[in-house]
Structure 1
């Protein structure tokens, strides 16, 4: 029997190898950047405790989602959306989620004009999120997920969760929790798409 941590690393290495080998159209310079990012991401994950690795369900592709944000605008993300996406799964009561949203707003949104930034309010109604957002200066599109339909596609538990998804629906980076390293890894992942 393969030890759990070894299995997770093997699955992740296989996933990242397949992901980056599918990008044959990139130049040699881009390939070097991808290889550097892949190495850094592996190192980043190697610092995780085993129980945290077990909770990070590896998602390779995101199906096409068509949702409406709390202002009534239609949003599409995932497979064939033709726009890269940073997806944040959050809850209004979660301190780490607040930090994640602030970091995304301060450091990432203005850097990446061609990327859509979407936050999914786990177990929150549209009305709750409208009220909550009145006191926030977020530039992210906010989507309700009162019944966890979107959240359950990605995970069973733990927030915040962040995904960097390319326009074909491939997950370039995923993590849960938030730290300065997460901000850096998201920014580097965005540089690849």
Structure 2
């Protein structure tokens, strides 16, 4: 029994160290400096397209719940939180109310929430509509029915969010639910 407890304590200590060092250094966990603003890129159109910080976000075209065509490039000039989520995902459910509150309060300040639903993972097509109605969501919700955009963005865990500046450049990425405070601070750092 003592060996088990010692082993469990060591495992917890190792996981704590990994969380506090390695994951933070790799940008897998979100840490936000409140006073920092991202520098504007000098020639954003010359930056490579990719998924790393400082690269231009790949464009995509999807259809939303109302049947409208949605392109990421339509939001150029706005500060964008690009979120990948599913209705069955508990952390996604936790952050949706924060996203809606921020959207309602800051949409006039060129802040946009684009929440791509991973429709290919939903049990029923109606699950998305019911979820949106239940949570009273009013921001843009494109449907990734074939899973192509989530694959293009390398989404491996839900939710995953990219914070994209007005030039379409990725400034940060968060894997897992983001608190309202973290979300707002990150969006306000964008230029």
Please give the TM-score of this superposition, normalised by the length of structure 2: 0.63
Does 2:81 correspond to 1:86?
yes
**Structure with more contact order per residue of length (Cα contacts < 8 Å, sep ≥ 6):** 2
Question: How far is 1:9 from its partner?
Answer: 3.5
Matching residue of 2:164: 165
Matching residue of 1:69: 64
Q: Determine helix, strand or coil for the equivalent of 1:169.
A: coil
Matching residue of 1:144: 143
Distance 1:8 1:96 in 2: 19
1:190–1:21: structure 2 CA closer, same or farther, 3 Å change rule?
closer
Q: Determine helix, strand or coil for the equivalent of 2:134.
A: coil
Distance 1:7 1:188 in 2: 20
Unaligned runs of 5+ in 2: 1-17, 29-36, 44-50
1:116–1:126: structure 2 CA closer, same or farther, 3 Å change rule?
farther
8 Å CA contact 2:96–2:135 kept in 1: the answer is no
Distance 1:126 1:84 in 2: 30
Distance 1:167 1:126 in 2: 33
8 Å CA contact 1:67–1:75 kept in 2: the answer is yes
8 Å CA contact 1:109–1:117 kept in 2: the answer is no
Distance 2:62 2:71 in 1: 6
8 Å CA contact 1:165–1:171 kept in 2: the answer is yes
Instruction: Show the 5 A alignment for 1:106-121.
Output: 106-113=101-108, 114-121=110-117
Matching residue of 1:187: 184
The structure with the largest alpha-carbon Rg is: 2
The count of corresponding residues between Structure 1 and Structure 2 is 151
Distance 2:27 2:182 in 1: 20
Matching residue of 2:93: 98
Distance 2:136 2:58 in 1: 29
Please give the TM-score of this superposition, normalised by the length of structure 1: 0.63
1:142–1:108: structure 2 CA closer, same or farther, 3 Å change rule?
closer
Matching residue of 1:23: 41
| CA-to-aligned-CA distance 1:117-146 (integer Å, 9 cap, x gap) | 111111247644224323230122111112
Matching residue of 1:175: 174
8 Å CA contact 2:81–2:163 kept in 1: the answer is yes
Matching residue of 2:32: none
